[in-house]
Amino acid sequence: MPRLTGTVSDGTLQVAVNGKTYTAGDGNLAVDGSNWTLQIPAADTLAPGTYDVAASATDAAGNTGVDGTTDELVVLSQADTLMVTSLTPTSTGFVVQFNGELMPEVLNLYDQGNLFGLADVTLAGTNTGPVRGSLVVGPGLRQVTFVATSGVLPPDEYSVTFISGTDGLHDVNAKLLDGDANGAVGDDFVTLLTVEPPAADVIVVSLPHITRGYGQPVNVPAYDRDAGLPLSISDGRNVSRVEFQLKYDPALLELQGFTVNNALAGGDATASLTFPAVGVASLSITAPASFAAQPGPMTIGSFTAVVPDDAPYGAKHILDIANLQVWDAATSPAERTSIDLDALHIAAFLGDTNGDGWYNSPDATLTRRIIGQINSGLGAYALADPVLLADITLNGLIQSSDTTGIRRAIGLVPVPYLPALPEGLVMPTASGPDPRVYIPRDLIGAPGQTVTVPVMIEVTEPAGVTIGGFDLLLEFDPGRFTVTAAQLGTLLQGTDLAGMMTQPAAGRLIYAADSLVGTSHLPTGTAGTLVTLTVVIAAEAAPGPANWNLLATLGTGRTGVYDGDLRDLVLNPPLTNASHDPGDGILLVDDGFPPWHNPANGLDVDADGFVTALDGLIVINRLNAEAAGDVSAPVAHYYDVNNDSQCTPLDAVIVINHLNASALSVAEGEQSHLRDRVFGGLAAELAPLEDVLNDLLDDIAAAWR
């Protein structure tokens, strides 16, 4: 029945509901200071409906005050409220049934960046303390299963709590949980669960928790390609047969077979695996003698399994060992006491802590933030213990070794504990603000010299940005350059960002940086260096401009910048893998003997892979600079079109002739005609330079004659 509350300032209190009057001190209505509580007794059952709660108080002088509200109490039928209908203990937690469909999207056991708040479901032992685990909502949304990460619950008395609220337990129609089933919504469900000590010789049969995404085989650990999904037993002595059914979601896991451990019973054990129903595997392992002669846990075999290519990313299910039976090794085998230890499978890539289906700097950042106790969990997996995602070394802890392993995966360095990612990954879509990331195009160095190549960022978002991490992928000519070191740029000095460089192949470089907090706010217009590369130019390096390609993708990695909330920022302009896009830079190898000829295509002065009017203009600009006495103008292009070791007007004419697709016959008095044809072929944005170039065109015409 409902429990009502209110306040009173003075006097003797009476509260009337549905024709029944309750007086303070009658065992139903209690007053504590200025607060009162009315627990309507079971004998005064209220049918579903709306009721007026009339409260009045009379002081010693006989003055009476009454409340001024009506219809304050609404009693719903049980069908109108979300309630727990059953709780069934398991060896690893519990299974709870509800009378309605839950809204799982708002539930969490763990928090990231204070997005979700306190856990909506908790399990805590009197002696054990809080139990870490994961929650799985059943397909019909009426059942939840809690699975402890550490396995079998120790003997203890546990408290189970489900929090009712708009950001906690409520149904798909936004009705809050009626935790005490009294018809009034909004109260929590709290109950006790007692775990008794198991029998001294109990046998535990178990599977490990696994995190594998679509297209990945299940091998635990990943570096053992024959490991499969191992089935373990706590003690193989005096055990000759094990039988059970494994219930699972076939949309998330495909079981293909079972292999018995050759060491089982001296190699004489056999196994039978059948599939009596969809999502149900029946396994029987039999041996003529004890599985083992020595005490201790052992692997009795392994399932061959793979995650389907179309498995929904991030979904999870219980690997439920059901109907377990274990027999001893007597001549007439008898059943032994046994416990099944269920496991959890998360259909995601191990180490992908931000849940976007790639390895990138946010994965390392989130791992660091859990280590630093900034976050308790992962936003993409709010109902899963983050250990299952971030503990790539499988030691049950999240440590710096896990961060290092994730960084190596970002850098395309093989990591033994991480299975290979499948082919055809879908690149996540960036959605954050728009910075510009690029490499300068005016870098110069001599053969044998050590220079720096910066990767720059410019904040173009009007509201500004923060930087919480980034991944940079570069391609360069390994025959001319060697990158010996990389360090965070000046813009990031004094922040907590930390980075690592890898070179997965000759001429390929990846630099990944992550942080606990990231930068402070960077206003629009802020520009600076993200990373500075130390580059040695080979002594025998061919002279001329060399492209430094800032790649969009490389293998399973991609270039990206992430803000403090780990949103993927939109790089503007976007990067491509083609050479000479707006993000790419040029490092000129200057041997002191300009100009140069492009060996690939002498007409391509700026080495962008195309012959355009800009190539002719670059030569003209060079001639103009020399005519003005500006001998310090950078020599950053292939000015020598005809390969005569000079930069002359003839080089510009050759480009112009090519663009006109036929030789120009220039005679005396035709300079104006040539001028029209030259400028007619230039882009509109170059038109203002016409006056500057007019005088040089006379020289071009004269040289042609």
Residues 380-405: tens digit of each pLDDT = 999 999 999 999 999 999 999 999 99
Query: Which of 346, 370, 392 delimits the end of a domain?
Result: 346
Q: Looking at residue 476, which CATH number applies to its domain?
A: 2.60.40.680
Q: What value, to the nearest 5°, has the Cα angle with vertex 358 and ends 304 and 388?
A: 55
Confidence of residue 695 (pLDDT cuts 50, 70, 90): low
What are the φ/ψ torsions at residue 285 (nearest 5 degrees)?
-120, 125
497 in a structural domain: yes
Q: Are residues 374 and 333 in the same domain?
A: no
516 in a structural domain: yes
Q: Are residues 444 and 578 in the same domain?
A: yes
Q: Are residues 229 and 142 in the same domain?
A: no
What mean pLDDT is reported for the chain?
Answer: 88
Residue range 419-432, pLDDT digits in tens:
999 987 777 776 66
Q: Are residues 448 and 583 in the same domain?
A: yes
Is the confidence at residue 666, as pLDDT, over 60?
A: no
42 in a structural domain: yes
Is the confidence at residue 4, as pLDDT, over 70?
A: yes
Is the confidence at residue 103, as pLDDT, over 60?
A: yes
Per-residue pLDDT, 433: 67
Least confident of 21-35, 451-465, 509-523, 673-687: 673-687
Least confident of 487-491, 618-622, 660-664: 660-664
- Give the separation between CA 590 and CA 601, rounded to whole angstroms: 19
Query: Which of 55, 75, 95 delimits the end of a domain?
Result: 75
Q: Are residues 220 and 185 in the same domain?
A: no
Q: Are residues 315 and 287 in the same domain?
A: yes
Per-residue pLDDT, 342: 94
Q: Are residues 584 and 446 in the same domain?
A: yes
Burial pattern 194-218, b for ≥16 Cβ within 10 A else e, equals ebeebeeeebbbbbbbbbbbbbbbb
Pairwise pLDDT comparison (628 vs 550), residue with the higher score: 550
Per-residue pLDDT, 594: 55
Confidence of residue 645 (pLDDT cuts 50, 70, 90): confident
Query: Which of 31, 58, 75 delimits the end of a domain?
Result: 75
Confidence of residue 473 (pLDDT cuts 50, 70, 90): very high
Least confident of 266-275, 619-628, 676-685: 676-685
Confidence of residue 68 (pLDDT cuts 50, 70, 90): confident
Is the confidence at residue 92, as pLDDT, over 60?
A: yes
Per-residue pLDDT, 78: 55
Q: Are residues 444 and 579 in the same domain?
A: yes
Report which secondary-structure segment, H or E, holds 30. strand 29-32
Q: Looking at residue 132, which CATH number applies to its domain?
A: 2.60.40.1220
Its pTM stands at 0.74
- CA distances (Å), 525 to each of 458, 461, 465, in order? 6, 8, 10
Per-residue pLDDT, 659: 86
93 in a structural domain: yes
Q: Which domain holds residue 478?
A: 435-589
Confidence of residue 690 (pLDDT cuts 50, 70, 90): very low
Residue range 225-248, pLDDT digits in tens:
999 999 999 999 999 999 999 999
415 in a structural domain: no
Share of the chain above pLDDT 70, in %: 90
Choose among 428, 441, 457: nearest CA to 553. 428
- Give the separation between CA 304 and CA 299, rounded to whole angstroms: 14
- Give the separation between CA 77 and CA 48, rounded to whole angstroms: 5
The amino acid sitting at 150 is: S
488 in a structural domain: yes
Q: Is the peptide bond between 221 and the residue preceding it cis, with omega within 30 degrees of 0?
A: yes
Is the confidence at residue 701, as pLDDT, over 50?
A: no
Per-residue pLDDT, 638: 86
For 549-597, the three-class secondary structure string (H helix, E strand, C coil) is EECCEECCEECEEECCCCCECCCCCCCCCCCCCCCCEEEEECCCCCCCC
Per-residue pLDDT, 688: 40
608 in a structural domain: no
Per-residue pLDDT, 669: 40
Q: Are residues 474 and 552 in the same domain?
A: yes
Q: Are residues 448 and 552 in the same domain?
A: yes
Per-residue pLDDT, 665: 41
- CA distances (Å), 127 to each of 87, 119, 195, 242, 430, in order? 22, 20, 12, 33, 47
Q: Are residues 576 and 443 in the same domain?
A: yes
Least confident of 11-25, 68-82, 203-217: 68-82
- Give the separation between CA 11 and CA 97, rounded to whole angstroms: 46
Per-residue pLDDT, 115: 87
Least confident of 193-202, 249-258, 318-327: 193-202
What are the φ/ψ torsions at residue 394 (nearest 5 degrees)?
60, 35
Pairwise pLDDT comparison (703 vs 611), residue with the higher score: 611
Q: Are residues 124 and 269 in the same domain?
A: no
353 in a structural domain: no
- Give the separation between CA 179 and CA 86, rounded to whole angstroms: 12
Per-residue pLDDT, 629: 57
Mean pLDDT of the 149-177 span:
94
Per-residue pLDDT, 307: 97
Q: Are 498 and 513 in contact (CB under 8 A)?
A: yes
Per-residue pLDDT, 703: 44
Least confident of 3-17, 259-273, 620-634: 620-634
Is the confidence at residue 355, as pLDDT, over 70?
A: yes
Please state the domain count of the chain: 6
Mean pLDDT of the 568-581 span:
90
Q: How many CB atoms lie within 10 A of CB 429?
A: 8
Confidence of residue 692 (pLDDT cuts 50, 70, 90): very low
Least confident of 26-40, 178-192, 249-263, 617-631: 617-631
Mean pLDDT of the 138-167 span:
95
